[in-house]
Amino acid sequence: MKPIVYVLILALPLFSCTHKGRVTSPDQSIAIQAGEENGRIFYTVSKNGKTLLDKSFLGFLLKDGPLGEDVAITEVSHTSFSGSWDQTWGEEIVVDNTYNQMTLQVAEKSGLKRRFDVVFRVFDDGFGFRYEFPKQPGLNEFVIMDEYTEFNFTGKHKAWSIPYGANYYEALYEPHPINELDTVCTPLTIETDDGLYLAVHEANLTDYAAMNLVAEKGTPNLHVYLTPWSTGEKVFMQAPGTTPWRTLIIADTPGDLLLSRLMLNLNEPSKIEDTSWIKPGRYIGIWWGMHMNAYTWHIGPKHGATTENTKRYIDFAAKHGFSGVLVEGWNTGWENDWTKEGDKFSFTQAYPDFDIDGITAYAAERGVKLIGHHETGGATLNYERQLDSAFAMYQRLGVNVVKTGYVSPLLDGKERHSSQYGVRHYRKVIETAANYHIMIDNHEPVMPTGLQRTYPNLMTQEGVRGQEWDAWDAAGGNPPDHTTLIPFTRGLAGPMDFTPGTFSFENPVLPDTRVKTTLAKQLALAVVLYSPLQMASDMIEHYEPYPAPFEFITSCPTNWAKTVIPHAKIGEYLTVARKDRESDDWYLGSITNGKSRNLSLSLDFLDKGFTYRAKVFKDGASASYDTDPYPVAIEELDVTSTTTLDLQLAAGGGTAIIFSRL
């Protein structure tokens, strides 16, 4: 660990009529200036002297009137911090945490003279700011009706987004000029006219509504739109309290966006002292067969979650080194219309043909874990009533991973997933799970904001249009550029449970819908799309005809010591190299969109002075996602950090490489 150093600079009372404050990043490249105009507070942002955000105003509309329209900055103070911390799991071990901070004390000039602080924390790769409400006589319990935070950009830059109305964030990211945006979710990824890459998001979403963005009247001025309660309020709050951090990553290259840890740094350190039970892994599941109509979730002639079928999957997992087996449809309630009657689910009562005690014992004997599944149908109150009993049962049986689900557009028939109501529920599940030493894979979530630093049992989340869409999407499935977009958009929010690893490109249910990649790209996605818990998505019988490429899936770790990005262009191609946390080996994935391309790959990321045996899994000569996705060519060669490889990626294709240090 690096030594932690605190530096405190004297508070600076300002007496000029503009009350300005200024703070820069540690490397001086990013500058934030704050000031006051006509009774309102604003900030501006520049990079290397060029303005990125013009005058952007701050404030709120409370239920009893505005807060921030007749205010003054009464004091400005500065602090600095330099240190680092180790991740329980992640894309690297050590995270640098160095920043400069400016705090604005703001107070109303008249009336109740309520006050709040605005805290800016600036890193070399961007910044975050949040509002803090100290305890005070005039502001105890209050209701936020709107947040007036602005991000007013200086150009009509290209931005990739999904609409606010997309259920579960499962939509295709599309590029639009900022000024044409309607209400969109964050992260919002931007390429400026000057070639910078930006991402607007939030960090540490705690007991608050999720942040969305909307452009003002065709301008590049973005305003915050908070997800409301069904009754119209945005946030119920009490002082002392804080908002989430509003964040902006500022990067010189697309790859630098992926390497930013700004959001994690703005979350609190782990509240779990003993993390020895938190273990990443790769698993298989009784899941894809439901989408292919080979199995049903509910009990019946084709029930997937039977004792016999689960033991078959456990045997396969033990043979090939998978850490666990996910089983969906094991518990009673699936026989109902669970998207409307989620309150009929029991999370402790198994179907008669699923011997959960026998199965967990059978798995333990073979070194495999059963991965639990809790689909709630959005009935959160029913789930919360059963949380302790369900987690206690799993703990007794040795089940320490649970995939949760909330398939219903509204929670409990009325509240949005990203509302304060949803945020409170998800946090309760994560904290309760930690009490029982259970890891969570959360589907249909609120968009992640870095909470995995504070609760590292929150392993991964969906909130993305995942590979399941390639099974049942009537429009044909995910387009080939989808996986070259989501690392730069949804992936910036945190680990994605996308479930790569489909080896069969036939769909008996919807023949015109299928996975639009090559088989080699499916291998590469195991590295490119980060998740510490990652499921190989296909039915086990689909892996058996392809033992050679399947070796990459079974060999590839999910926990890393270091990550580098040799190539990156949003929506076109991406190469990611990662060093295994448990060995000296490296793994690489390179993918392209619907166009074939050649990429020159320098291996300068490999440890210098060593020779590696590179096992390359690449698209075969005739491979193409649309005509022949199956051919995979495998070759081995010795390489060093001075070697350059030529990667030949087929249309919709990829390359995956294991670098074993000799």
Distance CA 236, CA 85 (A): 33
Question: How far lies 578's CA from each of 22, 473, 556, 565, 656, in Å?
Answer: 38, 32, 10, 9, 12
Average pLDDT, the chain: 96
Domain edges within the chain: 5-265, 477-662
Give the model confidence (pLDDT) of 94-111 as tens digits.
999 999 999 999 999 999
> Which H or E run contains 461?
strand 458-461
Among 283, 382, 293, 375, which residue's Cα sits nearest to residue 338? 375
Which of the two residues, 175 and 14, has the higher pLDDT score? 175
Distance CA 590, CA 656 (A): 6
Give the model confidence (pLDDT) of 251-264 as tens digits.
999 999 999 999 99
Tokens of 380: 């959160």
User: Domain 5-265 classified CATH 3.40.50.410?
Assistant: no
For residue 346, is pLDDT > 60? yes
Residue found by looking up tokens 């936020």 in the block: 144
Do residues 200 and 151 lie in contact, with contact meaning Cβ atoms separated by under 8 Å? yes
Q: What are phi and psi of 30, to 5 degrees?
A: -110, 130
Residue found by looking up tokens 């803090």 in the block: 132
* Cα radius of gyration (the chain): 25
Sign of CA dihedral 425, 288, 321, 533: negative
For residue 583, is pLDDT > 60? yes
Predicted confidence at residue 2, as pLDDT, reads: 35
The amino acid at 320: H
For residue 7, is pLDDT > 80? no
Distance CA 390, CA 240 (A): 34
Our separate counts of H helices and E strands in the chain read: 10, 38
Q: What mean pLDDT comes out for the span 364-371?
A: 98
The SS3 of residue 55 is: strand
**Cross-strand partners of 166:** none
Active-site residue flag, 468: yes
Give the model confidence (pLDDT) of 194-221 as tens digits.
999 999 999 999 999 999 999 998 899 9
Q: How does strand 458-461 pair with strand 439-442?
A: parallel
Give the model confidence (pLDDT) of 16-73 as tens digits.
446 589 999 999 999 999 999 999 999 999 999 999 999 999 999 999 999 999 999 9
Give the model confidence (pLDDT) of 180-196 as tens digits.
999 999 999 999 999 99
Among 92, 100, 137, which residue's Cα sits nearest to residue 119? 100
Tokens of 647: 């990667």
Question: How far lies 74's CA from each of 69, 102, 113, 291, 325, in Å?
Answer: 15, 13, 12, 60, 58
Distance CA 416, CA 402 (A): 22
For residue 6, is pLDDT > 60? no
Residue 651 DSSP label: T
Q: How does strand 71-86 pair with strand 94-108?
A: antiparallel
Q: What mean pLDDT comes out for the span 217-240?
A: 97
Distance CA 130, CA 558 (A): 33
SS3 helix, strand, coil % of the chain, rounded to 5? 20, 40, 45
Predicted confidence at residue 12, as pLDDT, reads: 37
Other CB atoms within a 10 A radius of the CB of residue 336 amount to 15
Please write down the long-range contacts of 190-193, taking CB distance under 8 Å and 24 or more positions apart. Answer: 190/153, 190/157, 190/158, 190/159, 190/160, 191/157, 191/158, 191/159, 191/570, 192/52, 192/153, 192/155, 192/157, 193/155, 193/157
Other CB atoms within a 10 A radius of the CB of residue 569 amount to 15
Distance CA 583, CA 576 (A): 18
Give the model confidence (pLDDT) of 608-640 as tens digits.
999 999 999 999 999 999 999 999 999 999 999
Predicted confidence at residue 19, as pLDDT, reads: 52
For residue 641, is pLDDT > 90? yes
Distance CA 559, CA 92 (A): 8
For residue 453, is pLDDT > 60? yes
**Cross-strand partners of 242:** 132
Give the model confidence (pLDDT) of 314-344 as tens digits.
999 999 999 999 999 999 999 998 888 889 9
pTM of the model: 0.95
Domain 477-662, architecture per CATH: Alpha-Beta Barrel (3.20)
For residue 11, is pLDDT > 50? no
For residue 477, is pLDDT > 70? yes
Residue found by looking up tokens 């239920």 in the block: 63
For residue 89, is pLDDT > 90? yes
Do residues 660 and 612 lie in contact, with contact meaning Cβ atoms separated by under 8 Å? yes
Question: How far lies 601's CA from each of 290, 328, 387, 565, 572, in Å?
Answer: 40, 41, 49, 11, 16
The SS3 of residue 65 is: strand
Distance CA 614, CA 619 (A): 16
Which of the two residues, 600 and 6, has the higher pLDDT score? 600
For residue 3, is pLDDT > 70? no
Tokens of 456: 């590292």
Other CB atoms within a 10 A radius of the CB of residue 531 amount to 22
Tokens of 568: 């990156």
Give the model confidence (pLDDT) of 391-401 as tens digits.
999 999 999 99
What is the per-residue DSSP string for 141-169? EEEEEEE--EEEBSS--EEEE-BTTSGGG
Strands of the sheet with 60-62, listed across from one edge: 65-67, 60-62, 141-147, 235-238
Predicted confidence at residue 18, as pLDDT, reads: 65
The catalytic residue among 150, 384, 468, 582 is 468
